[in-house]
Structure 1
């Protein structure tokens, strides 16, 4: 990795007296990294991590060795998860418990009747005497101007031992006169009369259910590093990855909207207008779960971090519940129990981890409706969003959750997708080539029910073929339509607005496909690959200043944003070979550090000889450091803006 400071590119004087010492340090450091790298692979039993053929003998990858995707238009390199750049940042974190005691209350469900219990053995073991418990029902506050962010809590009703609860979440409060206090929130998935009627009206024949489980900000490589037990379980159980799955835009919202609507960012904002203060616009957005609902599917949606939820972060949220089972009131109530932050996210809500709450909901929903058509979308941020190694805490929990789904028979009639939206977008790893690649290549795995291979052999073969083809979230959208059409021939699949040529994962994806043809922005495209290049100092400075000028142009409407000066140029890299260039163009990747301190990454199109510095911006500009706190003074320009510290945050 090349680091250029403003001083070093403007001063020609060498540092020859320190060169030998510096080289010695580099050699020793490299040796330590290699030793650590090999030991990590051995400890995790991942020496042959990319052993897809050993678990899937029917899948014969045709890609050239060393590449995930290899075609004239796209070559995505196959980096080792434990490469020296990545391993220096790898660390296994301990699971954090949210309470030292067993939960005092729990829920059981028999014959569609849910019952809230007090765990009497916990009371006796901890000598809690004269404990008084009551429960309150939790509902959305429909009278509020922001019903997606407000809840109503009913009067607390006393109960002893156990009590029947219904579809609403319940808040439990237990106390005694000696200062003992226990609070928790519970919810059970009960089949209401309305849902029974909906299932009865369904005309879908032999429908395949869909269970989508998302873990935010996890690349394919970091999935292997931080969730090794889960990874090995998926591989051993025949889950199939899509190795060329490339994000299409920067953060969560556009990538999930591409999956759920087929829209590109401009169309998402135009049609769904999530940032508007006019409540209800999101309710008219053509999200794919509405299509499933119309065809008799039972739908569910929830995310674990209330403040970071896809449709609520800097957005208005929904006026009415968007799915049959919408668990946001449960999550909002859980946040009121008290939050324990780990890595700056709401890891614990009360006595339970936020991530495990989501997995429990996903399990309850999918088991309840395993014999009926359903679509569930369950998303987790709180053990993965902010830090590279955070997922290591939950590896065994995620694996156990997936094992339970299989044991309960959910996988027998459901297509289960475990996936992410993108890799980690912040932190020191982003200064390296592995960080650049990982940010753009999220992990994605499919579990196809046994009958799928027999009922749809051609589609199954197409899916296997697509393992090493370039794919995108728009293809995911087309796949969700395809699944719905399999159960109802009358359902008409429509092209994705954001990518009219994109296809279902069950249709053969073209071998020779470009990022443009897959709807992927050039700045986020991994097809071209980049090699570090030592440019003339004046060209390096010119490219860096061009990026800063582009930032200033974008933030000129926000007077509170500070203006930047160049501090360092961390990377300059050029796209591999001229095969991908046209009209005498090439692509230059630039990563800079500024004053005030911020890190920006941009892809520049270079026309003609790169030495002449004829630059234009290819797509957007990425911010690779945490910007939430220093971008507080603006909403739409948050990632580019650095707000003055002397101003008081409103």
Structure 2
């Protein structure tokens, strides 16, 4: 468990720390002014892949979700806690119950990716170094009261100065959630999205596309650069199968070779990514591994509605990640935490994470870690079950998980051209294989594995605009890219899209209407209809447990249409490309600001607004110019 501030002060009195660098989006604009004028809009007309802009909410979508009751855990506080690699007995518990003595049993990794409980240490002295990353504890108070529990923690990683690479500059934190699409993230984790993007300056990969069914098909490419089908047999019940690390070197091992402290954990041990269908790890995969904790909890304790004792289960998980960030202070880290408890079976409860996610990011910022830490805020795929999943939109959302990346300011400053390439790539087709390539570049390595069915790219290199699902190694039924078909500019949905677009432009400049002209539609020059991939609509589910064989028997009927129009407004003759989605039942038009591009130069037309509101430059035509 993470420690309280007062307890930290008590035991670390006199410890000096460097003043942290706290980052804000405004700081990035000031410090990296060369990026401030880069307009990376949604240039759908120049990319071979266009993902649909499906609505966040409508009446049908609202009907698919149920309210989720927040956890109400026991009021009895934990008697023990951990901090900076040490074991402590809470002073509050001692004040309440008298002198406390505790017996401590380390919980460690065992062969076959299992857990093992070691011999008891009795008594475990207050302030003792932790012996493992999880432990069982039984405490007795002077008044006869007892306390027993299982705790997750971080035992200090042994120093390996002969391995440590002093040239290492950047940390990596990947923090993920199971089954959360881009839209679900924005629906239920709006504060997390807002803080990550608008306060810190993180960017969402708007064309990120999955390459297979389920979590392993998402994480194998990210962590190894390979598909599950490209490695020898690792599945349970198959002849000659071996454990996953006997065939593969995971990306964290590559970082570890350069002296990084590595940390990996997921909270649902019963459906572990590499243990549910597969044989798991032969050797402890990372320096700090939370699986033994969850295995012992499953054997000994019944989780009660998102609670483990007095702690909410996500609080335990986030606190474990926090401890990992500071226990081995001064060492570079590669940390990956993947949380499934609130979203694996349904998305109804994922919103319970929202405020604590923000607090986690704020905590990192307060420590000054973000100046040189890549933060990947992500999911593996969208929801694979439920009523929404049976619709066209649900199928598309499954293929478009949330994936955001915060590039630290030190990297931006040292590699400005790479950062510009990254900004441009946020609007191009990106796959999990590209994330692996990006990790390799951060670690200053080259990927020598060159499959023939795909080409992958680091996000700091140029991804071709003409990239397709086929060239990226995405099978047709997983491809969320829309097909293009010319349509009449006089079609009702096209006209409604143009009118709704102009209304949006005028709403955006409304506060400055005394300076900017109201815009009118001049004419529509081109229109195309964007249709869902036929194979996506036919895909029902995977026939096999491994997600390798597709059942293409579904008869999903489209309930939405997607349009892209090119239109001109007056005054100022502004040319815009706009992508919309249309509800075919109600006729309602949905347009996101991210799917609007100004495609001709505005020169000095918006000069009256440039300093006050530069983001309105594409829409404002100053009255003084006419």
TM-score (norm 1): 0.66
Contact 1:141–1:152 (Cα < 8 Å) also in 2: no
Q: Give 1:522's match in structure 2, choosing from 472, 476, 481.
A: 476
Match of 1:74 in 2: 49
Distance 1:496-1:331 versus aligned 2 partners, 3 A rule: farther
Report the 3-state secondary structure (helix = DSSP H, G, I; strand = E; otherwise coil) of the residue aligned with 1:377.
strand
Q: Is residue 282 of structure 2 the alignment partner of residue 282 of structure 1?
A: no
Distance 1:180-1:294 versus aligned 2 partners, 3 A rule: closer
C-alpha distance in 1, partners of 2:137/2:484? 55
Contact 2:176–2:339 (Cα < 8 Å) also in 1: yes
Match of 1:102 in 2: 77
C-alpha distance in 1, partners of 2:247/2:279? 13
Q: CA deviation at 1:405?
A: 1.1
What pairs up with 1:138-537 in 2 under 5 angstroms? 138-142=107-111, 146=112, 148-159=113-124, 162-175=127-140, 180-192=146-158, 196-197=159-160, 199-203=161-165, 205-236=167-198, 237-268=200-231, 270=232, 276=238, 278-340=241-303, 342=305, 347-369=306-328, 371-485=330-444, 491-495=445-449, 497=451, 500-528=454-482
Contact 2:48–2:465 (Cα < 8 Å) also in 1: no
Q: CA deviation at 1:451?
A: 1.0
Q: Which runs of 5+ in 2 are unaligned?
A: 1-34, 486-527, 542-548, 556-626
Report the 3-state secondary structure (helix = DSSP H, G, I; strand = E; otherwise coil) of the residue aligned with 1:76.
coil
Deviations 1:155-208 (A, max 9, x none): 25134655443345321113468675432314224131xxx22x4433462432
Q: CA deviation at 1:516?
A: 1.1
Q: Give 1:589's match in structure 2, choosing from 531, 537, 556.
A: 537
Contact 1:530–1:589 (Cα < 8 Å) also in 2: no
Q: CA deviation at 1:265?
A: 3.1
C-alpha distance in 2, partners of 1:322/1:159? 28
Match of 2:61 in 1: 86
Contact 1:98–1:353 (Cα < 8 Å) also in 2: yes
Contact 1:233–1:399 (Cα < 8 Å) also in 2: yes
Q: Which runs of 5+ in 1 are unaligned?
A: 1-55, 486-490, 532-575, 594-599, 607-650
Contact 1:189–1:364 (Cα < 8 Å) also in 2: no
Match of 1:15 in 2: none
Deviations 1:322-367 (A, max 9, x none): 222233223323334413254xxxx434443333333222222223
C-alpha distance in 2, partners of 1:138/1:588? 45
Deviations 1:276-296 (A, max 9, x none): 575545333122222222233
Deviations 1:502-528 (A, max 9, x none): 111111211122111122121111112
Q: CA deviation at 1:475?
A: 0.8
C-alpha distance in 2, partners of 1:322/1:503? 26
C-alpha distance in 2, partners of 1:321/1:362? 18
C-alpha distance in 2, partners of 1:324/1:180? 32
Report the 3-state secondary structure (helix = DSSP H, G, I; strand = E; otherwise coil) of the residue aligned with 2:377.
strand
Match of 2:522 in 1: none
Match of 2:105 in 1: 136
Distance 1:436-1:70 versus aligned 2 partners, 3 A rule: farther
C-alpha distance in 2, partners of 1:483/1:419? 18
Distance 1:369-1:163 versus aligned 2 partners, 3 A rule: closer
C-alpha distance in 1, partners of 2:110/2:139? 25
Distance 1:280-1:437 versus aligned 2 partners, 3 A rule: closer
C-alpha distance in 2, partners of 1:498/1:157? 59
Contact 1:274–1:282 (Cα < 8 Å) also in 2: no
Distance 1:108-1:578 versus aligned 2 partners, 3 A rule: closer
Contact 2:540–2:553 (Cα < 8 Å) also in 1: no
C-alpha distance in 2, partners of 1:89/1:578? 26
After TM superposition, the structure 1 stretch with the greater mean CA deviation from structure 2, 472-481 or 374-383, is: 374-383
Q: CA deviation at 1:604?
A: 7.3
Deviations 1:571-609 (A, max 9, x none): xxxxx979999xxxx65724779xxxxxx9955799xxx
> How many residue pairs were aligned?
469
Distance 1:499-1:482 versus aligned 2 partners, 3 A rule: farther
Contact 2:395–2:537 (Cα < 8 Å) also in 1: no
Deviations 1:409-455 (A, max 9, x none): 22121111110100111011112222111111110111111111110
Report the 3-state secondary structure (helix = DSSP H, G, I; strand = E; otherwise coil) of the residue aligned with 2:436.
helix
C-alpha distance in 1, partners of 2:261/2:40? 37
C-alpha distance in 2, partners of 1:170/1:492? 39
C-alpha distance in 2, partners of 1:160/1:90? 49
Q: CA deviation at 1:256?
A: 0.4
TM-score (norm 2): 0.68
Which contiguous aligned blocks of 4+ residues in structure 1 show a shift greater than 6 angstroms? 176-179, 576-581
Report the 3-state secondary structure (helix = DSSP H, G, I; strand = E; otherwise coil) of the residue aligned with 1:307.
helix
Contact 1:588–1:604 (Cα < 8 Å) also in 2: no
Distance 1:185-1:360 versus aligned 2 partners, 3 A rule: same
Deviations 1:110-143 (A, max 9, x none): xxxx332222323545xx467653211222345x
Distance 1:424-1:530 versus aligned 2 partners, 3 A rule: farther
C-alpha distance in 2, partners of 1:425/1:137? 37
C-alpha distance in 1, partners of 2:536/2:342? 34
Q: CA deviation at 1:252?
A: 0.2
Distance 1:132-1:580 versus aligned 2 partners, 3 A rule: closer
Match of 2:90 in 1: 119
Deviations 1:218-246 (A, max 9, x none): 11100011111111111221011101101
